[in-house]
Amino acid sequence: MIYAIILLGAIGIIFGIILGVVNKKLSVKTDPREEAIIDALPGANCGACGFAGCAACGAAIFNGEAPIDACPVGGPACAEAIAAILGVEASSAEPSIARVACNGSPDNAKTLYDYTGAKSCIVAKTSFNGQKMCDFSCFGFGSCAAACPFEAIDMVNGLPVVNRKKCTSCGICVSTCPQTLMHLVPRKQHVFVNCSNLIKGKAVMAACKVGCIKCKKCEKTCEFDAIHVTDVARIDYDKCTNCQACVAVCPTKCITVDTFTDDFSKAPKAEDTEPAGCSSCASRDTCQSKE
């Protein structure tokens, strides 16, 4: 017994010494900043950045092959930390969040037939494009919720609801949804078109209470040229000021205001938003941009 202990100890020590010596002799000079960047990354190795892992991502950032905000999970805090290490200014890395471009809960969207198959959106997609009458509707079986590695999606009333606190905008739900209803949008964006249908207005009305019927009222109302109805109403997030004028005019209420908050106690109302020329406050005395 004592021999066994001594022997294993001896083998360990001998190899340890050899490795130590070799490590000194063959040490590769790595920049300590690269190590620091890898330490600054979340270390989840989720692969959302497109690299093999956090170490590969860190190396790519250090070598300038990836932007400093390459890690979508770490978000702006991570990008700032890396910027501090590299001595460059953090770009205005805009945090984003996943959103569902459909409001077709069982109450709103009509079903076409009784689906009794596996409770999976991917399976449902193969059965005559799902059970909903609208071909662009959320099936509501929660494949996105199951795929989310951060458990940030809950199924509420047959629709996925993204938890703002948990969502890291890794984009896994975006690639999972067979209907491509999930989108990554800027976190500060509060107004969002909750519809993805590309069919004609009349057919939409027959299928869903809250579908976009392409009436273009939002487009006419928007003062910032931020919303356009091409195949469906789409918001240009660079131009949108969250003034919510389009929300007010939308006859089907398919444009909604995100009521989930993380950085403010409540969703901003029209009068609370910054007066950047928004129509709703222009008439009031408080508007600073009024000339």
Partner 1 sequence: MEVFGGLLTLLLTSMIVKNVVLSQFLGMCPFLGVSKKTENAIGMGMAVLVVLTISAALAWILYTFVLVPLELTFLKTIAFIIVIASLVQLVEMVLKKFSPGLYKSLGIFLPLITTNCAVLGVALLNIQNGYNFLETLFYSIGAALGFLIVLVIFSSIREKLELTNVPKAFKGLPIALITASVMSVAFMGFIGVL
Q: How far is the CB of 271 from partner 1 (least distance, A)?
A: 52
Tell whether residue 117 is a contact of partner 1 (CB under 8 A). Answer: no
CA distance 138 to 17: 62
Q: Which is nearer to partner 1, 19 or 206 (CB)?
A: 19
Tell whether residue 128 is a contact of partner 1 (CB under 8 A). Answer: no
Instruction: Tell me what percent of the chain is helix, strand and coil, each rounded to the nearest 5.
Output: 30, 10, 55
Tell whether residue 8 is a contact of partner 1 (CB under 8 A). Answer: yes
# residues near partner 1 by CB under 8 A? 19
- In this structure, what is the dihedral angle of CA atoms 137, 180, 222, 169, given to the nearest 10 degrees? 130
Binding mask 16-45 for partner 1 (x = CB under 8 A): x-xx--xx--xxx-----------------
Place of tokens 């950047």: 276
What is the DSSP annotation of 152-186? -EEEETTEEEE-TTT-----HHHHH-TT--EEEEE
Q: Which is nearer to partner 1, 14 or 276 (CB)?
A: 14
CB 258 within 8 A of CB 267: yes
Q: How far is the CB of 229 from partner 1 (least distance, A)?
A: 35
CA distance 260 to 35: 37
Question: Which of 43, 47, 53, 158 forms a contact with partner 1 (CB under 8 A)?
Answer: 53
Which residues form the interface with partner 1 (CB under 8 A)? Answer: 3-4, 7-8, 11-12, 15-16, 18-19, 22-23, 26-28, 52-53, 56, 59
